[in-house]
Amino acid sequence: MKTVKVGVIGFGYWGPNLARNFFDLPSAELVAIADLKEDRLQRARSFYPEVRTTTNYMDLFNMDLDAVVVSVPPALHYPIAKHCLENGLHVLIEKPMTQSSEHAEELIRKAESKELVLMVGHTFVYNSAVVALKKFIDSGELGDIYYIDTARLNLGLFQRDSNVLWDLAPHDISILLFLLGQDPVSISAYGAPCVIDNIFDVAYLNLIFPNQVPAHIHVSWLDPCKVRRITVVGSKKMIVFNDVENEQKLKIYDKGVDAPEYTDGFGEFHWNYRSGDILIPKIRVSEPLRQECHHFLDSIINKTRPESDGHNGLRVVKIIEAAENSLRNQSSKEIFAWDTLNMPALRQM
Amino acid sequence: MKTVKVGVIGFGYWGPNLARNFFDLPSAELVAIADLKEDRLQRARSFYPEVRTTTNYMDLFNMDLDAVVVSVPPALHYPIAKHCLENGLHVLIEKPMTQSSEHAEELIRKAESKELVLMVGHTFVYNSAVVALKKFIDSGELGDIYYIDTARLNLGLFQRDSNVLWDLAPHDISILLFLLGQDPVSISAYGAPCVIDNIFDVAYLNLIFPNQVPAHIHVSWLDPCKVRRITVVGSKKMIVFNDVENEQKLKIYDKGVDAPEYTDGFGEFHWNYRSGDILIPKIRVSEPLRQECHHFLDSIINKTRPESDGHNGLRVVKIIEAAENSLRNQSSKEIFAWDTLNMPALRQM
Amino acid sequence: MKTVKVGVIGFGYWGPNLARNFFDLPSAELVAIADLKEDRLQRARSFYPEVRTTTNYMDLFNMDLDAVVVSVPPALHYPIAKHCLENGLHVLIEKPMTQSSEHAEELIRKAESKELVLMVGHTFVYNSAVVALKKFIDSGELGDIYYIDTARLNLGLFQRDSNVLWDLAPHDISILLFLLGQDPVSISAYGAPCVIDNIFDVAYLNLIFPNQVPAHIHVSWLDPCKVRRITVVGSKKMIVFNDVENEQKLKIYDKGVDAPEYTDGFGEFHWNYRSGDILIPKIRVSEPLRQECHHFLDSIINKTRPESDGHNGLRVVKIIEAAENSLRNQSSKEIFAWDTLNMPALRQM
Amino acid sequence: MKTVKVGVIGFGYWGPNLARNFFDLPSAELVAIADLKEDRLQRARSFYPEVRTTTNYMDLFNMDLDAVVVSVPPALHYPIAKHCLENGLHVLIEKPMTQSSEHAEELIRKAESKELVLMVGHTFVYNSAVVALKKFIDSGELGDIYYIDTARLNLGLFQRDSNVLWDLAPHDISILLFLLGQDPVSISAYGAPCVIDNIFDVAYLNLIFPNQVPAHIHVSWLDPCKVRRITVVGSKKMIVFNDVENEQKLKIYDKGVDAPEYTDGFGEFHWNYRSGDILIPKIRVSEPLRQECHHFLDSIINKTRPESDGHNGLRVVKIIEAAENSLRNQSSKEIFAWDTLNMPALRQM
């Protein structure tokens, strides 16, 4: 196969970016675009006059396609992806892969039985700054990983059928799995539905990775500042990945603290603090989505397993499921409920 | 009483700042300084040649003092403060008040029975930016408080007898109690001892306040960047207090999101996002410790209860105790432990 | 005239942005695109399949157009714009309008005699932050304007036929003319050709406006940081326009210094410094180029004179000519040449 | 001589810092402090009870001193320093050394004839970040120096007997002389007295160093933001020294542009832009004034010539004199006065 014939299902917020990349990439041919809304299809045709459009994604099954991209609302990921796999098409699904792990597992089985590529759009795994960050970790330059802290905050976009966990946390979870190359051993979460009942818009996740490495994720739809930050603290060095910066995305701090080798038990600790240079490495900028689409095509052409394959997507879904369970049962975790009975009333301030 | 005769017990890291302020304030007379180490006393005499110095704090009981400031290692707060109260002295204790709530309660009883002022050095309650922040909240300008998020990070001063919870969290907890004027209804915490066994150097606290208002505290001795930030998200406006900034400490964002009044159940949500001006109000700068010392003197002279009295100190200690219990029992919270049995092995990356 | 039929001449760096806007604006019809290079025209056709393309701009004269946009290298602005005006077309020229004031004057005469719209692409005059800045100045909120300082720095796009003065300064000069509504009374400039002989890549301009208001412009192709900043200092308030910021482009500082009303001649000055709130007003974001294109169409349809008309373009060209003369004669200004004869030799360091 | 007996003349804004350092340095003995104001002397005695104080600096001549520091208003630098030299004392004068080059030359002659150390308080020459910056330049790591741009802006401190040139520019001029190790070959300046007649509060200096290396200095008492920045642009690398940063004062950019080796005269230039890593080297923090005081003592004890000796101070004074002449004669430089006669009146906007 020289070029992969691709159809895009869903031309709303993210679909146009996918279509643009498959249109531009030489190893793909953008054949068709499906969307329920005619005005979106009209816009698609104005950009790509040669592309076929339809309001019924099932029409794509008769267009001699090799692969489809599913960028529809999360609730439709499972049925549409399944249908496409059943029709022999390689599938790239936007994140989150599905809304339940059972559905994800079913898609994996489907794809494996048909020997089709099933890939999930965890874009950050294809982000050159994240790849560089992983290289620094793997090289041992950071030493042992002490902990990772992430924050993904913004004002908005509220969605009716989702919450901040399913919307934003897949990014951070897929980054953590990629950086550490391991599954977490335990998961818990806290959060709150501030604006609308039952729709969590702020959440904190605690993941413990093997060797007691903790990772903490803060996601919010309700913050005045746009924050996209990952801090990796190692025993030798520390790195901050600040995705809001235009150019200086990674900062490597030659900082640390060494425990005293010997203490007499009575005297004070003699900590050894290190604070050396800071390095901001040049990261070659390339659109992560371009890399992702390219990787999907490569996997199809070379019959290889993509980095963010179905199993990777399943992992992320399972972690979010566990976190959401924890979130919804958080009252049961309040084992140290505060006893105000014995406290004098707070003074009026 | 015109001027309060003050003695300072402990002239290590923080004591010199207290001594300087009581020396400068007109309603106080700095009479004596006690410390176990002679070289520190020598330094004290070089600054304040008229001040009496001693290596035995009990000598202060014979110096006709009115009040003492206890700025010794936390483990000594309780016995020394108790001794001073028993000798009829008003007491200002550095934070954390004590290392157990029983001890704090005992000090409160002691002070109340002797009608002495007992105050805890929760400096931020006397910080003009925090006071301004509370005024914005109380005025209703922020609307309902949705949630509060705080971070206090640094490459920090590791201590043998403490941990990051007892060292840094008192600041944030005392600020939260001050801002909200309420006790939390539940507390839990996560964290890790990264560098030394058993000494937690990273911790996350989840406090739920009445009306389901969550507050999240992140404290760390292991971060490459110095962070001192409090974000208060209200239904009408949002405020960020960034204490690392020299001048622009408070930023008030006229930002928010309003839920749709009506949805038809099928259509999309029509959220109303607001994003207006940002105001950086001029905060009159004054040393918070100066305000704190002044408030202590005022409470003695006017026989009033200080803002950060013993009960306030006790509240903070109780919350930290609860958080530390939660921290040390966090394995019991891992109710959603990750089942790796059913997952295919992670690919080697 | 309902819609204006537009042709774009030059489809290199900037032309595609112009084409996109005229394609999108309802009061225009993008009819034709001309460029010397066939590969650019091919790209144009892939975006706008209905648009006619040609390598000879003169073909546009037979296409029943109303107007053209000239976005070719500066040296070609004059001959092509003149040719288009002679063929009865309204003309929008990219900045700088021409490379000499004589040419600019000739284009103005041509356009006026034929009653055609002649407009120059001084985009910043259509930038919503600059418009807001002008409103703050005109409202008197800043008080008297003391001085204006601008910086436009980058690791820049070196050009063979231009220099940093002709490339970057038109932006700042057009902004100054717009903000102050006056011509400067004197101009001088300093600079250096650092990388290539004779091509100035760093320049400083001093413009004195009426009432002795100085404005200083720093433009550079050789700076490690991207800077786009205008500081307006008034007697009552000060504003910084930082165009590198994504959202917080304008900051209004309630700062100033008042001279003492009375001094006794012996005592010290009693200056009154004010330092109040900082306001970051919400600026409604819209693409300045969209506003510019819209304004061009409006001027044609309503037969009005555009804000950045030929006279405005001529003013900018004249100021740059004067500045370049000053730059090239700067040795004659070195009236305070340093006499090193009487100085002992500098020590070897 | 083991320890140098030092007297401080002037205990106003800066004198206390000098006194503190000479009090702390082991090779000095702080013997006496002189100031016209009794309340300042009282404050001095409260800090240094052993130090002798007087309102008449001439009393210091009878105290067996070795050296004095002159930190009085600039107009008194010359007479007091001269008097001290005549009385056989080594002298450290605050910047600017004097208010005229004649006076500076006289002080140099005086000091040389008596073999006394004469040093000027150009603090930045003893600043560890500036010293590191000079090392980077001298090592050739930056390549050829293309140009240097400096900015020292603030709201403030207006002085009656001075202007922004004499107040702030000595810092930047002494830094430039130190970094480049050469005298400028020409000097000119622009500026304005915005608030008070005749007191220049904004100024721009253009210095040309040998090999046509330009340096541009911007000093202002009228800016809303505190700026302390030096940008050194070399042919290989670029460095920004930002003194407002607490820790990250130097940033070394591996950026540049190389001219094309060959151009065919018709084709486009093929510039080679480099943009690599950014390095923020760890600068060991030490108080520059401490280094300066230490250097003064060293020069006395070892009979060596200080880095910022009288000749260095004279150079700075001569450059400021030339710049001020240029500033006060700037109308003569307006050789490209703007001819508004031929321009149509500006439209009312």
Q: What is the DSSP string of B92-154?
A: EEESSS-SSHHHHHHHHHHHHHHT--EEEE-GGGG-HHHHHHHHHHHTTTT-SEEEEEEEEEE
d(CA B3, CA A23) in angstroms, rounded, equals: 82
The count of C-alpha atoms lying within 13 angstroms of the C-alpha of B306, restricted to the half-sphere facing its C-beta, is 34
Beta strand pairing call for D250-258 and D238-242: antiparallel
CB contact under 8 A, D248 and A279: no
d(CA B203, CA B327) in angstroms, rounded, equals: 8
Beta strand pairing call for C4-9 and C28-34: parallel
The pLDDT of residue D13: 86
The pLDDT of residue D262: 52
CB contact under 8 A, D158 and C269: yes
- Name the pLDDT band for D61 (thresholds 50, 70, 90): very high
Inform me whether the C-beta atom of residue D335 falls under 8 Å from chain C C-beta atoms: yes
pTM of the entire structure? 0.90
Mean pLDDT of D22-42: 96
- To the nearest 10 degrees (0 to 180), the angle between helices D101-114 and D77-86 is 10
Sheet holding A52-54, edge to edge: A52-54, A28-34, A4-9, A67-70, A90-93, A118-120
The pLDDT of residue A258: 73
Which chain C residues are closer than 8 Å to B278 by Cβ? Answer: 248, 279-280, 282
The larger pLDDT score, comparing residue D321 to residue B256, is at D321
Determine if residue B32 is left, alpha or beta; phi over 0 gives left, psi from -120 to 50 gives alpha, anything else beta.
Answer: beta
Q: What is the pLDDT of residues D178-199, one digit of tens each?
A: 999 999 999 999 999 998 888 8
Inform me whether the C-beta atom of residue A332 falls under 8 Å from chain B C-beta atoms: yes
Instruction: Say whether the peptide bond before residue C96 is cis (omega within 30 degrees of 0).
Output: yes
Token pair 């496409």 in the structure block, residue: A84
| Distant-in-sequence, close-in-space partners of C286: CB < 8 Å, separation ≥ 6 | C128
Inform me whether the C-beta atom of residue D285 falls under 8 Å from chain A C-beta atoms: no
The pLDDT of residue A181: 95
State the burial class of residue C43 (Cβ atoms within 10 Å of its Cβ: 0-12, 13-18, 19+). Answer: middle
User: Do B178 and B193 touch, CB atoms closer than 8 A?
Assistant: no
d(CA B316, CA B273) in angstroms, rounded, equals: 37
- Judged by DSSP in three states, D300 sits in helix
The larger pLDDT score, comparing residue A301 to residue A159, is at A301
CB contact under 8 A, D224 and C255: yes
A69-83, D58-72, D197-211, range with the lowest pLDDT? D197-211
CB contact under 8 A, C192 and D214: yes
The rounded average pLDDT for each run of 10 residues, N- to C-terminus, in chain B (349 residues) is 92 94 96 96 90 97 97 95 98 96 97 98 96 97 96 82 91 98 92 89 94 94 95 96 93 84 48 85 91 97 96 97 88 47 39
Mean pLDDT of A241-269: 76
Tokens of B2: 């015109």
Which chain B residues are closer than 8 Å to A149 by Cβ? Answer: 218, 220, 223
| Distant-in-sequence, close-in-space partners of D213: CB < 8 Å, separation ≥ 6 | C192, D145, D146, D147, D148, D180
Inform me whether the C-beta atom of residue C244 falls under 8 Å from chain B C-beta atoms: no
Q: What is the pLDDT of residues B270-317, one digit of tens each?
A: 567 788 999 999 998 889 999 999 999 999 999 999 999 999 999 999
Q: What is the pLDDT of residues A119-134, one digit of tens each?
A: 999 999 999 999 999 9
d(CA A249, CA A283) in angstroms, rounded, equals: 8
Q: How far is CA C337 from the centre of its chain?
A: 34
Residue ranges of domains in chain B, CATH in brackets: 4-116 (3.40.50.720), 125-288+321-330 (3.30.360.10)
CA dihedral A174, A177, A179, A180 (to 10 degrees): 170
Q: Closest by alpha carbon to A305, among A313, A319, A295? A: A295
Q: How many helices (H) and strands (E) does chain C have?
A: 9, 14
Token pair 């695109």 in the structure block, residue: C33
What percentage of residues in chain C have a pLDDT greater than 70?
Answer: 89
Sheet holding B90-94, edge to edge: B52-54, B28-34, B4-9, B67-70, B90-94, B118-121
d(CA C206, CA C184) in angstroms, rounded, equals: 10
CB-nearest partner of C346 from D155, D181, D255? D181
A152 forms beta bridges with A219, A228
pLDDT of D342 over the 60 cut:
no
B256 forms beta bridges with B274
Distances (CA, A) of D197 to B113, D130, D155, D192, D331: 68, 35, 18, 9, 16
User: Do D15 and D80 touch, CB atoms closer than 8 A?
Assistant: no
Q: What is the pLDDT of residues C126-176, one digit of tens each?
A: 999 999 999 999 999 999 999 999 999 998 766 767 899 999 999 999 999
The pLDDT of residue D76: 95
- Dihedral sign for Cα A246, A248, A250, A251, please: negative
Q: How far is D22 from chain C (nearest CA, A)?
A: 27
d(CA C38, CA C53) in angstroms, rounded, equals: 9
Beta strand pairing call for D238-242 and A238-242: unpaired
d(CA C272, CA B74) in angstroms, rounded, equals: 46
Instruction: Say whether the peptide bond before residue A260 is cis (omega within 30 degrees of 0).
Output: no
CB-nearest partner of C281 from B248, B277, B281? B277
Tell me, what DSSP letter sits at residue B187?
Answer: E
Mean pLDDT of D250-279: 73
d(CA C130, CA A207) in angstroms, rounded, equals: 48
SS (H, E, C) chain A: CCCEEEEEECCCCCHHHHHHHHHHCCCEEEEEEECCCHHHHHHHHHHCCCCEEECCHHHHHHCCCCEEEECCCHHHHHHHHHHHHHCCCEEEECCCCCCCHHHHHHHHHHHHHHCCCEEECCHHHHCHHHHHHHHHHHCCCCCCEEEEEEEEEEECCCCCCCCHHHHHHHHHHHHHHHHHCCCCCEEEEEEECCCCCCCCCEEEEEEEEHHHEEEEEEEECEEEEEEEEEEEEECCCEEEEECCCCCCCEEEEEEEEECCCCCCCCCCCCCEEEEEEEEECCCCCCCHHHHHHHHHHHHHHHCCCCCCEHHHHHHHHHHHHHHHHHHHCHHHHCCCCCCCCCCCCCCCC
Give chain D's mean pLDDT: 90
CB-nearest partner of C282 from B277, B280, B281? B277
Which chain D residues are closer than 8 Å to A282 by Cβ? Answer: 254, 275-278
Q: Closest by alpha carbon to B311, among B168, B131, B120? A: B120
The pLDDT of residue A158: 67
The pLDDT of residue A160: 67
CB-nearest partner of A248 from D276, D278, D282? D278
CB-nearest partner of B334 from A188, A213, A347? A188
| Distant-in-sequence, close-in-space partners of A102: CB < 8 Å, separation ≥ 6 | none
Q: Closest by alpha carbon to C5, among C89, C115, C93, C114? A: C89
Inform me whether the C-beta atom of residue D276 falls under 8 Å from chain A C-beta atoms: yes
Inform me whether the C-beta atom of residue A139 falls under 8 Å from chain B C-beta atoms: no
Q: What is the DSSP string of D212-269?
A: GEEEEEEEESEEEEEEEEEEEEESS-EEEEETTSSS--EEEEEEEEE--S---SSS--
pLDDT of A265 over the 50 cut:
no
D230 forms beta bridges with D150, D241
Inform me whether the C-beta atom of residue A257 falls under 8 Å from chain D C-beta atoms: no
Q: Closest by alpha carbon to A229, among B225, B148, B154, B164? A: B225
Mean pLDDT of C219-237: 95
Token pair 């091919």 in the structure block, residue: C42
Q: What is the DSSP string of B274-335?
A: EEEEEEE-------HHHHHHHHHHHHHHHT---TTBHHHHHHHHHHHHHHHHHHHTHHHH-T
The pLDDT of residue D196: 85
